[in-house]
Amino acid sequence: MIDKARRAFGAQIGAAVLNGDGFGKPMGILNPAAGIPIMDTSAATPPGFFTWQDLLQLRWSVPLSLQANAGAYLMNQYTWGLCSTMSDANGRPIMTANPTEGAPYLLGGVPVIIAPQMPNVETGATPVAFGNWNRAYMVVNRKGITMTMGPFSGGFCPIFRFEARIGGAPVCPGAARLLRIR
């Protein structure tokens, strides 16, 4: 039962870390008040899309001193599907799997973290983020998941209460960037 509660809390915490408003939950990465800089897609990119050049610009817009060889992309599985099917002008795939690479998802040698809570690729959305997340964001576990039995439980149907306290906020917004689709 505690494992099921841990997975449920993990999903809620993940949603709050990405989209939280800071009131009773962590300040989310995608929240404009978080202060993470936003980079628009190139003027050469068709509206409503992004290209591999936009992904490279996003990555290299984060200062090298803040990347410290620890950068990672954040995107949902739909956006990763678009990335993994990109090809050059001759139709050759840009993203190829290398059997020597340890991580399951790499984009230009950089890990990709699949976060289902990230938005889809649409005009005005920020579906891709890149940064050194150890420097850019801090999650504070104030109280681990606890389980208590409710005092007014019925005899045959016990009521359980699960509780956790988590905080989070950007600590160095300059160590990350968001890609906005124009």
Average confidence (pLDDT) per 10 residues, the chain, 182 residues: 88 92 91 95 94 93 86 94 84 68 74 93 97 94 85 75 89 96 95
- The whole-number pLDDT of residue 54 equals 95
Distance CA 55, CA 62 (A): 12
Degrees to nearest 5, angle at CA 71 with 28 and 175: 55
Bridge partners of 169, per DSSP, are 138
Which among 111, 54, 107, 117 is positioned nearest to 84, based on CA atoms? 107
Query: In angstroms, rounded to a whole number, what is the distance separating the alpha carbons of residues 88 and 99?
Result: 22
The pLDDT of residue 118: 96
Residue 59 has what pLDDT? 94
CATH architecture assignment, domain 2-180: 2-Layer Sandwich (3.30)
Q: Rounded distance, CA 21 to CA 173, Å?
A: 16
Contact criterion met (CB below 8 Å) for 95 and 87: no
Give pLDDT, residue 102: 59
Residue-level pLDDT at 153: 66
Q: Residue 103 has what pLDDT? A: 62
CA distances from 3 to 7, 10, 114 (A): 6, 10, 21
Task: Note whether 130 and 118 are within 8 A (CB).
Answer: no
pTM, two decimals, is 0.85
The β-bridge partners of 113 are 74
Instruction: For residue 79, give the 3-state DSSP assignment.
Output: helix
Contact 130, 58 (CB under 8 A): yes
